[in-house]
Structure formats: C-alpha cells, structure tokens
Structure 1
C-alpha cells in the first residue's frame, strides 16, 4: 500500500477518534449533568451507540458534501486527502490539548477550502450556502429554546401545572440519545469525506468503520468532555434539558439530510443561551460564552484554511513564494494589532489625565 494512503487513513482514524472524544461524547452531557444517567460509562456508551446509528442512518449525505461538494472531485487525490486530514485532525488535536475549543466541521471545511484556494477551484455557491447555515441554524436554536421556555413558564404560571419528573427524566434520556444520533450523522463524515473523495475508501466500508472509531473515542476518552459539559448545565431543569437536546438533535439531523456539516457545539450552546435569555435578556450578551462562540466560529475554519493552503502550496505545487508572503502578512498583522492595542492604552491614559486635570 502507498505510504501516503497509509498516512491518510491513519490521520482519518486519529481524527475520528478525536471527534468521538471531543464532540460525540458531549451529546449526553445534559442527561448526565441532570443525573438522569448517573453512570459516566453508560452515558458514554449511549453517546457512542447513538453515533454509530446516526452514521449508518444518514452519514453519507455530509460525506458526499465534504468529498466532492466544496472542491472538484478530480482535485482530491491521495496527497490532497492526506493534507486535509492531517491539517483538520492535527489542528483539532493541538487546540483541544491547549484548551481552545474548535468545531470539527468548520476545521474540515476550512482545510478543504484552503486546498481549493491554492488550486483556484472552489464551488463558491456551496461554500456560501454552508457558511450562511452556520449562522442561521445556531440562531434558530436560540429562538426555538427562547420561545419554548417563554411558553412553558407562562403555562406553568397560568394553569399551575404540576411537573412530572419521572416522565421528564425519560424524555431527557430519549432526547439525549436523539442528539447522539444527530452527532453521528454529521460528525463521522468529517473524517471519512476526504477518503471517499480520493477513492481511498468506499462509503459502504468507511461509514461503519469510522462510526465504530468515533464510538470508541467517545467511550474511551470522552469522560472529560462529558464532565465539563455536565458542569455547565447543572443549573438547568429537566424540562430545559429536553428542549435543548431535542432542538439541537432536530436541527442537526435536518442539516445532515441536506448534506450540511454543522458545528454542533455552537448549536447546543446557543440553545442553552436561549434558555438563559428568558430570565435576563441584557445579561446574556455580556456573557463570555457569547464572545467564545464568535471566536470559535471565526478561528476554526481560518486556522485550518491557512495551514492547508500553505502545505498544498509547498508540498503539492512546490511554491514557497506564496507561503512566505502569507506568513509575513500574518506577522505584520499581529505586530500592527499589538501596536494598535498599545496606542489605545496610551490614548486612554492621556484621556484619564485630562479628565482628572479638568476636575
């Protein structure tokens, strides 16, 4: 077997394993945090099982998009597939290690776009469609949970309805598993798409194989992510959890059937923010999580795009001139930003002194 093929498959397997550990495991976070599922092992097992079902049920839609819907199918050969997977998987692995949360879907799309820019071949309409849905779907999650929570609290107050914790617990378990299925449908394709596009692996072989790898990643190394997500949602009620998980699962599954790779973490987070907004609308926009979401949306695709573009230029096209210009531009931008911050601080100090003198 060609060494590049081995590298591409190995990178895809590592990427899939990391997807399971960081993304799919989070799908049961609400149910685990609410203590509906008390055992961490069972929660991770359910997340993994859901990922397998989702991938086998509808993972081929997003796989087709990532394999041939962003750049020309003829463009994705073995070296290009290896670059995309190494960049996407490596970027996600490094940023997870240093604590910067990135979206697997956005990292993968960014890497493919970086290759396309290098060859000046992109399906721009498809890319704009994907990017627009990266904004629309999280916003829809926010509006749905906000509206449902407003209606729910109004009915509880008006009709003095009694909460049935037993039924809510069952519903939360089911909707959590539903969210895990959605994660499998959307996320497994990130690792498999480039392999299918390069004809390294068929869809029939790849989907079950990578579904199992994602499930293993979730079960063996997803505990930390599960615990972190559980701590974030401990203040939510069972009813809140049902609304969040069902909304996230529904929107991501719809997107998956249309072949759109969606940043699931952002959808879940904006759904949680929608619940919080019903209590204090103004305070939501001051939360650091909002700034973090925006930062992740911007940095995820850009980081992988730049790295994939640079590697394609150097390894495939053997053009070092463009990469040098790119690196110099990035360095100059950082220097200018740093200088701008220093100037702003000086202006602020000068303004304060003038105010104090006037007083």
Structure 2
C-alpha cells in the first residue's frame, strides 16, 4: 500500500513537471511576440488547454502503459522505477530552463526496465522512434516553406499589415497556441500516468483527470523559464510566423496523439521555430548556442533515463549488482579519459603559446 501511495505521488509530481516542460512551451510564441504580454496569462492559457487535452489522451496512455512492455512484467515496482527516473530527469531540465521532451525520458526509462527484464516490444519502439524523426522534420520543413512563401509575398507586394490584419493574426496566434497546448495535454499526460494504468494501479479515467490537473498546475507554477526559452531566446518571430509555427505543431502532435504515438512535443515546436528562423538567417540560427544546448539535452536525456532505469531494475528487481558495477566503471572510465584528453589539448595549446612567445 505504501508503494502505491508513493507511486501516485511520484506520478503526479511527474505530471506537474510535464506541464512545466511541455505545455508551457506551447504559449511561448504568443508570449514572445508580445500578443500575450503577461507571463502569468500565457501560463494560465497553456494550463487550461493542457487540462482539456489530457482528457482525450487515452490512446497514448495505452501505448505507454502496454505498448512497449508486457503488462505481466509492468508491476508496481517497475512502474515506480519508470516514474522516478522520468520525474527526476525532467525536473532537472526544468530547473535549468531547457524544453525537454517528456516522451523521450519516459520511453527511455521504459526501455531500460524492459531490457533488464529481457522483454521489449522492439517493433513498437522502432515505430515510435521513426515518428520522433519524421514529425519534427515535417515541422521544420513546413514552417521553412511557409516562411519562404511569406517572405516572397511580402517583398513582391510590399505588404504592410493593417491594424485589422494585426488584430486577426493576434487572435489566430492565441487560438493556435491553445490548440498546441491541447495537443500537448492529449499526448503528454500518458507519460505520467501510463505506467500506473499499465500496472492496473490507476484507472484510465481517473488518471486522465488527475494527470491533466497536475499538468495544468505545473504549467502555471513552474513553466516560466521554458516559456522564456521558447519565446525569446531562439529566434525573433512575427505574428504570421507564430500562427504557422503553433498551427503546424498543434496539428502534427494532435494527429500523432489520435493514433497513439507519444511524440516529443517540445522537439516539434522548437523544430518549427528553427524552420522559421532559418528563413531569416540560415547560418545564424544554427550557430545559436541555445539550439546546440537543446539538441544535446534531447540526445542525452533518453539515454540517461534508459541507463538509470536499467541499473535500478537490475539492483532492485533482479538483485544483479555485477552488471551495474560494470556499467558504472565504464562511465567513470569514460569521464576520466574525456577529462584527460581535454587536459592534454589545453597543455599542448599552452606549450605552443610559450614557444611562440619565446
């Protein structure tokens, strides 16, 4: 009973962080363009959209709960490991303000547990991974093409937006941002409650309701930094850019949710922003340090959650300490060699400098 209570607490703490990371990013464009001037209002709109979308997230919950690992192996202990690893990883990235995909850390943790228990639905995993590449790429290409067309139209006809047009675009931007938040809730609520539904600890309806509520709360109270990152630190966006980005991201993630694919929402949104920014400054957008940092976190986070979940499962469920010792030794050795290599490069650089001065 105690473990069930702990799992419920961790799951909803995770949902809180899911809201901060995913749904808060959905209103970043409206906030960044100044349509929604107050951060708190943007976060409230994001939370409301997320809460409504979560109520329709059943298909993705099925995939997370039963699509990657057998329900016979997804015990309450295994679910606890998945939720703990996912929540801690996501909480860390929220603190540093990086928009991380909750789907990545959750799927990574499930795969880690599945590998340890020696049963993984590999075909389903490969299908999910393919969508992780296709959907963000589609978002980038779509917004890039729209950006080129808009740029051509504005330059050819010397388009100057009227007050009426500006008002219409502002309304559309808020609506498409709300759509994006709805899609985020629909897709991401599964990451928090899916393992417990799969382990028959929580019913689907109760999980969708409480998970959605905590996601909304997370968006409101912890989403500020992610909102700033997506809205103001990646690329300057016009109103028309924002409508295209939010509309594209919302529709793509909504489609993935309907067929039950857990999709990296923040990757889709950020890829769409980069696609628009590339039209204005192709070289500069790729040199943006924020983009580099986000990509590094995207690549590293699922691998980190996979390794940690695997190690915890080996120790707590399989009582196999030897594998964990080997993995830990390999990680320590890699870190030592990496630092040694950096030191050698620095020393070599200093040697050349002294030689030149002499």
Same fold (TM over 0.5): yes
Bigger Cα displacement from structure 2, 208-217 vs 279-288: 279-288
Distance 1:88 1:172, change over 3 A: same
Shift of the alpha carbon at 1:99? 5.1
Answer whether contact 2:97 2:226 (CA < 8 A) is retained: no
TM-score by length of 1: 0.92
Q: 1:206 and 2:197 equivalent? A: no
Deviations 1:245-293 (A, max 9, x none): 1111111111212222222222111111111211232333322233223
Cα distance in 2 for partners of 1:340, 1:71 equals: 40
Q: 1:5 and 2:38 equivalent? A: no
Answer whether contact 1:37 1:43 (CA < 8 A) is retained: yes
Q: 1:273 and 2:274 equivalent? A: yes
Shift of the alpha carbon at 1:343? 3.6
Bigger Cα displacement from structure 2, 342-351 vs 244-253: 342-351
Shift of the alpha carbon at 1:86? 0.9
Cα distance in 2 for partners of 1:290, 1:37 equals: 24
Shift of the alpha carbon at 1:155? 1.4
- Residue 137 (structure 1) aligned to one of 132, 135, 138: 135
Cα distance in 1 for partners of 2:234, 2:295 equals: 20
Distance 1:100 1:24, change over 3 A: closer
Answer whether contact 2:235 2:285 (CA < 8 A) is retained: no
Shift of the alpha carbon at 1:306? 1.0
Bigger Cα displacement from structure 2, 297-306 vs 92-101: 92-101
Cα distance in 2 for partners of 1:41, 1:293 equals: 24
Partner of 1:306: 307
Instruction: Give the 3-state SS of the residue equivalent to 1:74 in structure 2.
Output: coil
Partner of 1:168: 169
Distance 1:300 1:4, change over 3 A: same
Shift of the alpha carbon at 1:169? 0.7
Instruction: Give the 3-state SS of the residue equivalent to 2:221 in structure 1.
Output: helix
How many positions carry a matched residue from both structures?
354
Bigger Cα displacement from structure 2, 304-313 vs 132-141: 132-141
- Residue 83 (structure 1) aligned to one of 59, 68, 81: 81
Distance 1:278 1:227, change over 3 A: closer
Unaligned runs of 5+ in 2: none
Bigger Cα displacement from structure 2, 10-19 vs 126-135: 126-135
- Residue 101 (structure 2) aligned to one of 97, 103, 106: 103
Distance 1:234 1:143, change over 3 A: closer
Partner of 1:17: 16
Partner of 1:263: 264
Bigger Cα displacement from structure 2, 176-185 vs 275-284: 275-284
Answer whether contact 1:30 1:233 (CA < 8 A) is retained: no
Q: 1:159 and 2:160 equivalent? A: no
Partner of 2:253: 252
Cα distance in 2 for partners of 1:159, 1:237 equals: 18
RMSD over equivalenced CA pairs, Å: 2.1
Distance 1:233 1:281, change over 3 A: closer
Answer whether contact 1:33 1:233 (CA < 8 A) is retained: no
Partner of 1:39: 38
Cα distance in 1 for partners of 2:88, 2:114 equals: 19
Distance 1:12 1:92, change over 3 A: same
Cα distance in 2 for partners of 1:37, 1:99 equals: 20
Partner of 2:333: 332
TM-score by length of 2: 0.92
Deviations 1:301-340 (A, max 9, x none): 0111111111111111111111111100111111122223
Distance 1:341 1:234, change over 3 A: closer
Answer whether contact 2:236 2:277 (CA < 8 A) is retained: no
